[in-house]
Structure 1
Amino acid sequence: MLALYLRVEKVLYVVIAAIGVPVNSVAIVILSRGKCGLSTCTTRYLVAMAAADLLVIISEVILYQIKYHFFTTNFLFYTPLCTIIRVLTYVSTDCSVWFTVTFTFDRFVAICCQNLKTKYCTGKSAAAVISITGVILTLKNIPIFFTYGPKKIIDNVPWFCVPKPSYFSARGWVEYDWIDTILTPFLPFAVILILNALTVRHILVASRVRKALRTQSNGENRSDPEMESRRKSVILLLTLSGNFILLWLTYVLNFIYYQIMGTLGAEPNEIEEIISQTGRLLCNFSCCTNTFIYAATQSKFREQVKSAVKYPLTSVLLLMHRTKP
């Protein structure tokens, strides 16, 4: 069963790489142009999320998973380089998760905290939050470099990288692993759920109040541009955060299972290994989905994508027309 799963997983990781690299690259380019009708701060958070997702695809999917599935050995298996790739994977994954949290908080402030909105929901604040978050997460993951050691030493050259036995037994590393898991993804799970609940509650209450006031003043129930704008914003927010929670859920439940059973670091059986690998696969797949969510929820983003697709074809046809005798 495990052998069959690994063959399927090999194909799926190629699909994730083939989808993830172009769609995240397209999202970064289109969003950076600022023509999607989104605020500057929202645009910067979405660009940061797309960049982090792209980095996860490169470091985890291409340089780690595909490397192990398709190559028996190459220079990427050299232990120091392999370890750097693992650290880069941890940093990019943390950034992908926490940029989702910062985006969720930004939308919560924009919708629910009108007094704070003008000061916090700006392009400058977004850039500062993204930069500070990235630096903190990078520093937090530096110790990961020291948790890996070589699996083999051939002609005095270390190859491959595997967690050191002390990582699962030494008190300091066990505590670090708990802190790492709490920070990604347990705390983000809790923060996103709480902020979304408060945001939805605020939207429902404000919608009822505005609807009643407009009915009293106009004598009829007309469309409300302000509530329509909030509705679109909350749809994007809930879709992105809901996608994150759904695709990370298997990983979270798997970690809880290992903690309850007290078998973290032990050799898993086939079923446990399949569930563990599936959770990891779904986490990586989450890095491919945000661009499709933008396209599904934002009409102006769809228009920009269509223009980007049509532009090369239009340019070729125009060039051919000009070169005709």
Structure 2
Amino acid sequence: MYVIGIDGGGTKTKGVLANSNGEIIAETIVGASNPNSVLDADLRNEIAELFQSLKIQSGELYLKVRRVYAGMSGVGHPTARKDMKELISALVPDSINVTVNHDAITALYSGTLGNAGIVQIAGTGSITLGLGENGVLNRVGGWGYLLGEKGSGYALGSQGLEAAFLAHDGLGDTTELHQLFLDHFQVTSLPDAIQTIYRAKNLKETIAFLSKLVMKAADNGDPVAQKIIHHNAVHMAESISYLCKKMFIVGEAVPVVLTGGLFNRFDLFQDTMELVFLEKQLKVQLIKPEMEPVGGAVIAALKEEGIEIENHFSGKFSNRL
């Protein structure tokens, strides 16, 4: 059996055609596919290019694909999911079943191999999502950067900027972030960076990038940067804890999958998060996935076709990416 898994986001979209054993037949990367940030025509062109590339690479095997499972950002609303499903369905043979779901599901499956658990995404944006044994979903956050989105790259960058400007105004503690931002924006006075910030083509990405400087300052022992990281680590741990208590049996270890760029420096968040779990007397199994989220999309596709996922799937799949 052959399936196609898709991991679509605001920066890039990855597609993989694989068989039920986790053997990758074809793979490709195209541009952004978040319907909230991409024009309809551009969205269709990117998705069409993805399928065309997979078709060319896989040849006759493309006609044996049974299902497409697309984990996409920006499809939290039922209408958005419906529109995305219709777009994809129009680009593949009628014999292929199509499922579109939130990209947090595929991120979760990349760590649990299709089983229940919680996923904490901490990338440019953030969301905490739980999938229960009964198939019920619950979420905390993920409401967009204008509403805070703590635990994200944007949150770290935004809070870092705020702290730097407070220091500039004499209203906040002195922080290394001030100089780091001066160097980053190549200005001699922080207000000179305002025009660059507000005129940024992608404001969210521009500010989220600054999270790297916040982490750098924290590495250097800057108390302000360390406080920002602590604050966001507590928020993520409390969000995870809430879903643990709401969705799972107390006392059982809950799998918690950690994905997103911030967790490349999990060492900065780990102690704080684990302390919160300890204080709340929760057992969690923190998982850093061996495979990319697109692997979770392949798993989701196979599950919908009734295929049982073997424990060695992630190792075989990861070795091919």
Larger gyration radius, structure 1 or structure 2: 1
Shorter-chain TM-score above 0.5: no
Q: TM-score, normalised by structure 1?
A: 0.29
Select the structure that is richer in strand. Answer: 2
Select the structure that is richer in helix. Answer: 1
